[in-house]
């Protein structure tokens, strides 16, 4: 088992090294202008600002893949604007969310003396999402893998025009060997207050945070994943989860219960 873990660790390290090499390779530092033009052409209107603010061509490409996959519901899922975030503050919808979270926190504290739950209630703005996307290491590795595959598939012949339809189909179907640990900017449910990260606190400090390095050593080894799930099942009927892909035992989606009349009206 230890040997397998060592091999996995070595493979991950190798992929990070490859990403660094790619980043300094002229082909990636100076991307084919055909690809840049195609990214601009394929980007849905609602995502144009996000694509513009993503710094590296490879990261733009990775985000574009997510947007193409979600194109049918992209506008409905897109993160709130600053104005929409401001309108949410103090609304009845926010009050209902906070009250349900308080019930979950109370149940958890009663069941786990000495520990409590912490939740960051700031809606994650698009600017913050883009900043994280530009900096995240797992995004960089996945993006460079995608770019390398696209280079080999479509950009080997310098003068050959790119087929918009073929590239769009290829992008939607491409599967990375290493996944990015973030949703593409604009698509996270945190951007509409429809997801909450519950973190474990002890003595006023974060004990089990939203940290992938702590999943096995803290969350699962000490049973906090099950403890949190128990409290949410008991006191948070509007929450579902945890998120399994990527693996985040602290992440729960928020889907407020509708009144029967409202649900019926939405079906019409």
SS (H, E, C) 91-104: CHHHHHHHHHHHHH
pLDDT at 159 over 50: yes
**Are 201 and 115 part of one and the same domain?**
yes
- Angle at which helices 164-173 and 57-69 pack, to 10 degrees? 80
Confidence of residue 35 (pLDDT cuts 50, 70, 90): confident
- Burial class from Cβ neighbours inside 10 Å (0-12, 13-18, 19+) for residue 231 reads buried
Least confident of 106-110, 125-129, 186-190, 260-264: 260-264
- Number of structural domains the chain divides into: 2
Q: Which domain holds residue 214?
A: 81-122+194-267
CB-CB contact of 138 with 222 (8 Å): no
Confidence of residue 24 (pLDDT cuts 50, 70, 90): very low
At 199-225, the pLDDT tens digits run 999 999 999 999 989 999 999 999 999
CA atoms within 13 A on the CB side of 165: 0
**Are 221 and 91 part of one and the same domain?**
yes
pLDDT at 31 over 70: no
At 47-57, the pLDDT tens digits run 999 999 999 99
Q: pTM score, two decimals? A: 0.75
**Are 150 and 257 part of one and the same domain?**
no
**Are 30 and 102 part of one and the same domain?**
no
Residue 216 domain flag: yes
pLDDT given for residue 36 in this prediction: 85
């Amino acid at each position: 088992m230890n040997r397998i873990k060592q091999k996995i660790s070595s493979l991950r390290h190798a992929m990070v090294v490859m990403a660094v090499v790619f980043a300094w390779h002229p082909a990636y530092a100076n991307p084919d202008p055909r690809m840049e033009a195609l990214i601009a052409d394929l980007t849905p209107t609602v995502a144009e600002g996000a694509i513009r603010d993503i710094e590296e061509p490879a990261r733009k490409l990775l985000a574009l893949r997510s947007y193409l996959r979600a194109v049918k519901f992209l506008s409905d899922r897109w993160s709130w604007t600053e104005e929409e975030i401001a309108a949410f503050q103090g609304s009845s919808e926010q009050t209902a969310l906070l009250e349900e979270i308080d019930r979950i926190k109370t149940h958890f504290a009663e069941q786990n003396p000495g520990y409590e739950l912490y939740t960051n209630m700031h809606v994650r703005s698009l600017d913050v999402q883009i900043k994280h996307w530009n900096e995240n290491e797992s995004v960089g590795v996945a993006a460079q893998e995608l770019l390398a595959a696209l280079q080999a598939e479509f950009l080997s012949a310098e003068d050959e025009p790119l087929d918009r339809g073929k590239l769009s189909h290829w992008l939607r179907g491409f599967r990375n060997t290493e996944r990015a640990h973030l949703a593409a900017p604009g698509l996270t449910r945190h951007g509409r207050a429809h997801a909450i990260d519950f973190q474990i606190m002890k003595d006023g400090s974060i004990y089990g945070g939203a940290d992938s390095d702590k999943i096995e050593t803290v969350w699962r080894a000490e049973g906090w994943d099950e403890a949190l799930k128990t409290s949410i099942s008991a006191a948070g009927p509007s929450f579902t989860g945890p998120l399994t892909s990527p693996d985040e035992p602290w992440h729960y989606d928020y889907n407020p219960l509708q009144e029967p009349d409202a649900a019926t009206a939405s079906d019409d």
